[in-house]
Structure 1
Amino acid sequence: MSAEPIVIKFGGTSLGSPARIRRAARRVAAHVRRGRPTVVVVSAMGGATDRIVRLLASVSGGRPDGREADRALATGEDLSAALLAAALRSLGLDARSLRGGEAGVWAQGGFCGGHVEDVDPAPVRRLLAAGTVPVVSGFQGARDDGETVTLGRGGSDTSAVALAAALGSAECHIVTDVPGVFDRDPRAHGDARRIGEIDPLALVVLAEGGARVVHPTAARLALERGVPLRVYHHRAALSGRGGTVVAPAIRALEAV
């Protein structure tokens, strides 16, 4: 098996139905069967977080306790991880879902506003060494006191990039609902232009300027830690070819 791992993060739209979860599983399986150690990070299924927020508001009079809010919110990613792991197992792959803390993601900060402090890659490396695909709940981490805290909207991008950095700046794929990084939001501007290759600093500028494909915190972390990214649509070819490559000096990524 190749020594170079890959981290694949699936956004909520990419997991928005059983058919899309099965497609995501096939994408992961294609990498694994070509000998690539693969770590998966997932968001909650499309709309799940908003439904949980509404439920919390309805039972708490609009003022949910922070700890219980984070416990509830984290279940969205936990469900995605379990479903995708089940889909992978149905394809004959060994897979295991992990909460953020179980995957070594350590966080600091208050409830509903934590940030990644550190990532211990040992739990993920042990699973990879055993031939198991780790499927990690994004958007969450464990604090030193054992509590789960969420990382804010877009936090699953940060989880994925942080894991890739902890694994030695592994290549990180962001699977989303647009064909790559655009100069403007293609959902609002019909003439938006897809960018085939972009420098990490330019991605940070776009993300902080409102481009919503990669969360600004994740984009900055990728720049700081030298994590190469590839961003593409969930209906793209299983190889992930195409989309947008984000790497220093437009360094070509391995075609996988």
Structure 2
Amino acid sequence: MTRRTSLIDLANAVTSDPAPREMDILLTAGERISMALLAMAIRELGVGAQAFTGPQAGVITTEHHGRARIIDVAPGRLQKAVADGDVAIVAGFQGLHPETQDVTTLGRGGSDTTAVALAAALQADVCEIYTDVDGVFTADPRIVPTARKLDRVSYEEMLDLAASGAKVLMPRCVEYARRFDVPIHVRSSFSGLEGTWVTGDTQEGEDMEDPIIAGVAHDRSEAKITVIGVPDVPGSAARLFEAVAKSDVNIDMIVQNVSAVVTGYTDISFTLPSDSVPRAIESIEADHEGIGYKELRTDEAIGKISLVGAGMRANSGVSARFFSALRDAGVNIEMISTSDIRISCVTRADKPGRCGTRRAHRVRPRH
């Protein structure tokens, strides 16, 4: 992360508006340096090793520089390296667009997603993701000392935890694993202890003491946009979110107020990643006349806290206990979103906390 930040600083020293294509070429340099040095170090220990960039490893992506998506993996060179007895080292976070032949970067969660994509392409037994914690916990152990490590968690629960702010895994990584049924083993880089298994089958209900709640997640990286004075007529919301979709922004929570009968207007609020706010605002303002809103407001001082667990499907009273706990802690709720296994609340940013992790990856081939 430090090397990547310094590369961004170098770009900003040269220009205030770096071209996305050239930024991707620049940002992939850090991973290339690391993989080459690691291969050299392994060879020095007497073990064969080959380093591969994302394109060399066969990672094929969309054309969107800085936020490309993996569309295919052709792992032929990796399979040959492993068959020859070498350790294959792949630079994560990068790929190749097949038509332009340009290198691309995958954006947030790109390294984890690369690891899972390679595991799926190689039909591996498991994708091991090494981080600075012992696994997935019921809450951030740096904030909640009594948080417990989960032995197993379902793809569905992990996807909601990740989307709600748990930093151990990114949502797109978990979604890829779920789509191709790749088990993920999250474990510590600093110990040989068993970590947390993220799989499609957690054998829920076999133990009478299985927890109802998988965990609590928090996130300070989101912002809120409120569109004030939207005409309360069919198609207004569609026009608004079509404009947002043009900027390739992922929306999290949406709340529409009950319209005022006298005015015939309503307000729509939604949350999104903070770094996506400028793009969303630009797209909405570009279609101001078509949407017909009166005012735009942004709020980047929000936080989100979420309760996640498949056990909530069959247990009543969870919402009441959750909201009571927030009340007792003096936390005011601004927005609420629910699903079968998740309850999320938007609060002020000074309520939830946040932490980051560093991780490495290892794919264990099937025998």
Bucket of the pairwise TM-score, normalised by the shorter protein = 0.7 to 0.9
Query: Greater Rg, structure 1 or structure 2?
Result: 2
**Structure 2 counterparts to residues 93-108 of structure 1, below 5 A:** 93-108=47-62
**Partner of 2:330 in structure 1?**
none
**Partner of 2:2 in structure 1?**
47
Cα offsets for 1:87-119 (capped at 9, x unmatched): 211221110110001001011132112111100
**Partner of 2:43 in structure 1?**
89
**Structure 2 counterparts to residues 95-134 of structure 1, below 5 A:** 95-134=49-88
**Structure 2 counterparts to residues 65-214 of structure 1, below 5 A:** 65-144=19-98, 145-214=100-169
**Partner of 2:275 in structure 1?**
none
Give unpaired runs (5+ residues) of structure 2.
204-363
- Paired residue secondary structure (1:175): strand
Q: Retained in 2: the 8 A contact 1:94–1:131?
A: yes
Normalising to structure 2: TM-score of the pair? 0.53
The offset of 1:189, in angstroms, is: 3.7
Structure 1 stretches of 4+ moved >4 Å: none
Amino acid in the other structure paired with 1:210: G
Normalising to structure 1: TM-score of the pair? 0.75
- Percent identity between matched residues is 38
Counterpart Cα distance in 1 of 2:112 and 2:153: 18
Cα offsets for 1:196-228 (capped at 9, x unmatched): 211121111111111011111001111111001
By relative contact order (CA 8 Å, sep 6+), the higher-ranking structure is: 1
Q: Retained in 2: the 8 A contact 1:207–1:216?
A: yes
Q: Retained in 2: the 8 A contact 1:94–1:133?
A: yes
Q: Retained in 2: the 8 A contact 1:169–1:226?
A: no
**Partner of 1:40 in structure 2?**
none
Amino acid in the other structure paired with 1:47: T
- Paired residue secondary structure (1:181): coil
Counterpart Cα distance in 2 of 1:227 and 1:85: 26
The offset of 1:188, in angstroms, is: 4.0
Q: Retained in 2: the 8 A contact 1:169–1:225?
A: no
Q: Of residues 238, 244, 247 in structure 1, which corresponds to 2:196?
A: 244
**Partner of 1:60 in structure 2?**
15
- Root mean square deviation, CA, Å: 1.8
**Partner of 1:37 in structure 2?**
none
**Structure 2 counterparts to residues 3-14 of structure 1, below 5 A:** none
From the two aligned structures, give the one with the greater strand fraction. Answer: 2
The 1:84/1:250 distance shift into structure 2, 3 A limit, reads farther
**Partner of 1:233 in structure 2?**
188
Amino acid in the other structure paired with 2:34: S
